[in-house]
Structure 1
Amino acid sequence: MKKKKLLALLLVVQIIIVNVLGLFPNFVERFYSNGLFPLLSKGSRVVFGWTGISIGDIIYFIAIILCLRWLWIKRKTWRKQYKDNLLTMAAAFSIFYFLFNFLWALNYRRVPLHEKMGMGKDYELTELVAFTKRLIVKTNAMHAQIEKNDSLKVVNPYTVEEIYAKSINGYQNLAKPFPYFAFEHESIKSSLMSTPLSYMGFGGYLNPFTNEAQVNCNLPKYNLPTTACHEMSHQIGYASESEANFIGYMASIYNDDPYFKYSGYSFALKYCMNNIAKKDEKLAKSLAPLISRGVLANFKESEKFSEEYDSFVEDIFEFVYDKFLKANSQKDGLKTYSKFVGLLVNYYSDKEL
């Protein structure tokens, strides 16, 4: 009982400490994100990355079963032993909360990437439109390089495992101009929960306890390279979804393989078009004819995939994940994903695509 009370009390202390650390991002950046975390993350990838099996998924399965088993055993004790049961739950969550933050989640409190790279994140609609037109030209060119018929969608010829293996090349190239994006000891795996993830509306996730990049292997294959690179960015400590989208895009276009480049450019183009449509739908429609029919066919492929797995389950998990992001210093919640467009516009304000 004493241990349970102590762990429950420590949960409150931990929450206070984590929120206080959020006030000192430079401290977190120096001592955790660039100090302790790289050692923890590399160690985890070495330990769990040798097998293609998702160890983290298995751990989650076991944890869920144990939780359900405990609830079943305790189902008749809540009237008389509710205090003890609540203490048990608080103590267990205290351990979970400590491991979650210690092994990865303190990265939510690090210095924002746009500050680290010395660029802004805000933009005007005119700037977004100008950038999107440049991006359309680049995406069309990459499509033409791969597929000679401009009406046909790009079909990635690689196996899922080959895509994972090739993903590291983009980070190796990206690390030359940006050393803080260096990546070693890949641990990218197809999630055992890929079908549930499809219904939940997720392309993948990082397991914070094993540092495995869990990818939804059901996704349209043309988009899979950027999704894998996105999850890899979480592995090296970039928790923000907008930053992970930006880094995933960069690692894709820095890859030597044209299918990765196409995946990155088309990924960015889709986000830019969606952002324009939110501000001015007619303007977005006026830009659509500029996009190659083959690129639009790939976008249609993604839409068909989303429609196939559309269900109320996605709405529930989007609501929960939105609250989770907001509780972890991402005030825009799920909208954070599309915020990476601001990083793109500002990064390319004085650069060629």
Structure 2
Amino acid sequence: MKKRYSIPLILIGLMIILNITARLSRPFADFYVTRIFPYISDCISFISGLLPFSLGEMLTVAAVALILLGIPLFLLLLIFAKGKRRKIAAFTGTFALWIICYITVTETMNCFIMYQCTPFSEKYFPNSHEHTDEEITDLYGKLIKECNELAKEVPHDENGCFELTCDFRSEARTAMKKVGEKYPQLRGYYPKAKPIHFSYFMSQSNLTGIYLPYTIEANYNDDMVRANLPSTVCHELAHLKGFIQEDEANFISFAAASGSDNVEFRYSAYLDALEYVHNAVWENHVESALPLSDEISDEVLCDWFRFMPENYWEENADKEVISTEAVSEVSTAAIDTNIKMNGRDDGIRAYSMVVDLLLDYYYP
């Protein structure tokens, strides 16, 4: 076998072995994430962080362009360059194989292995138990109270909605370093999160942020309402420290933002947590908690469960190349499938499982 094929195939084979080893041995996954991945993450995120734009997004755009333009070009060359067909096929095959190798290596080393680690609750809440309706009712009340009080302290725009005024990218790094004092795996270097240029596509996908393992970058949707930004950026930065499970990243985001010295971050944290707990209360028909919904202040009601600004979809209708419904369905299915393939049967519901971690945190 020629060297140009053997090296990428060997690397792909090695990644398959690492994936299987991680699935069969949790200690191996834990060792990798705590002892090896921090060096990889700090190094690559520092280099990619030197760029003012999202390198991962640019690579994704390049990949799409390569598929749309490269395949027709390849076919045309095969048709018209009769004397060079073998060389063209060999070059194209080698190039495609190295791309597959790069994706396999970065997904395995910077994402897949982390799914097999010891759950956050087992590491930090060893005495967690089955929580009662009384506890979730009490938590619901506490979050409502915190949100009501913080809503009076944060800035508001002319419509009475929350207005973000702080340097949230720098504050997020500070908040994450601070929470790292409590949860050691979160210690270390943090790059600044980056906005996605094609944020409208993220909006269509119902995404507030995204972690790109190809370049170890934390990215956020720059079009969404600003109340979501602090908690979203902290969530994505948590992935850079090996916490790949979505409920765990959600909890870390809450712990970091709620512990921030900045009131805008604290408000974002409690607002995000309140939405998840509110959904859990109503989905599970926790009778003792339902009446508490009436205590939510008008200021909070103006901010919660808001994804995009008013009239966003109407004002950006000209950007819609593929229908929002189609993009949303494909995105949801892709996320759900990815999580399930990595051993989490909850699929996309994993995001909302943060309620269990919040209950473990408040009622250990």
Which TM-score tier does this pair reach, normalised by the shorter chain? Answer: 0.7 to 0.9
Equivalent residues of 2:225, 2:307 under 8 A apart:
yes
What's 1:348 paired with? 362
Give the partner amino acid of 2:119. P
* TM-score, scaled to structure 2: 0.83
Asked if the contact 2:161/2:299 (under 8 Å) is kept, the reply is yes
1:157 pairs, out of 162, 165, 188, with 165
The equivalent of 1:50 in structure 2 is: 50
Q: Which amino acid aligns with 2:73?
A: I
- The residue that corresponds to 1:244 in the other structure is 249
TM-score (norm 1): 0.86
Shift of 1:197: 0.4
Whichever residue aligns with residue 97 of structure 1, its letter is T
51-60 vs 176-185, which deviates more?
176-185
Deviation of 1:339 (Å): 0.4
Question: 1:21, 1:300 → 2: CA distance?
Answer: 37
Residue in 1 aligned with 2:123? Answer: 116
Q: Which residue among 200, 204, 209 is the counterpart of 2:209? A: 204
Q: Cα gap change, 1:20/1:185 in structure 2, threshold over 3 Å: closer, same or farther? A: closer
The counterpart of 2:268, out of the listed 254, 263, 274, is: 263
How far the C-alpha of 1:145 sits from its partner, in A, is 2.8
Q: How does 1:29-40 map to 2 (within 5 A)?
A: 29-30=30-31, 32-40=32-40
- Counterpart residue number, 1:140: 148
The CA deviation string for residues 79-120 of structure 1, in whole angstroms up to 9 with x for no partner, is: x99x99999866643442122212443212221111110343
Distance 1:338 1:280, change over 3 A: same
3-state SS in 1 of match to 2:329: helix
Instruction: Return the offset for 1:139.
Output: 1.5
Cα offset for 1:307?
Answer: 8.6
Tell me the matched-pair count.
343
1:100 aligns with 2:101: no
Structure 1 portions without partners, runs of 5+: none
Quick one: percent identity of the two aligned structures? 23
Q: What SS is found at the alignment partner of 1:329?
A: coil
Offset, 1:305? 6.3
Aligned residue identity for 1:51: L
Residue 330 of structure 2 corresponds to residue 316 of structure 1: yes
Q: Distance in 1 between matches of 2:188 and 2:102?
A: 29
Bigger Rg over Cα? 2
Aligned-pair distance for 1:227? 0.3
Query: Are the structure 2 counterparts of residues 306 and 210 from structure 1 closer, same or farther at C-alpha, using a change threshold of 3 Å?
Result: farther
Match of 2:182 in 1: 177
Match of 1:191 in 2: 196
How has the CA–CA distance of structure 1 residues 29 and 163 changed in structure 2, closer, same or farther, with 3 Å as cutoff? same
Q: Verify the 8 A CA contact 2:223 2:308 in the aligned structure 1.
A: no
Measure, in 2, the Cα distance between the counterparts of 1:57 and 1:304. Answer: 23
Structure 1: which 4+ aligned runs deviate by more than 6 Å?
83-88, 281-284, 303-307
* Counterparts in 2 of 1:7 and 1:43: CA distance versus 1, 3 Å: closer
Unmatched 5+ stretches in structure 2: 80-84, 315-323
Which of 223, 228, 238 pairs up with 1:223? 228
Given that 2:231 and 2:265 are in contact with CA atoms closer than 8 Å, whether structure 1 keeps it comes out as yes
User: What value does the CA root-mean-square deviation take over the aligned residues?
Assistant: 3.1
Deviations 1:158-183 (A, max 9, x none): 4xxx2111111212221222222224
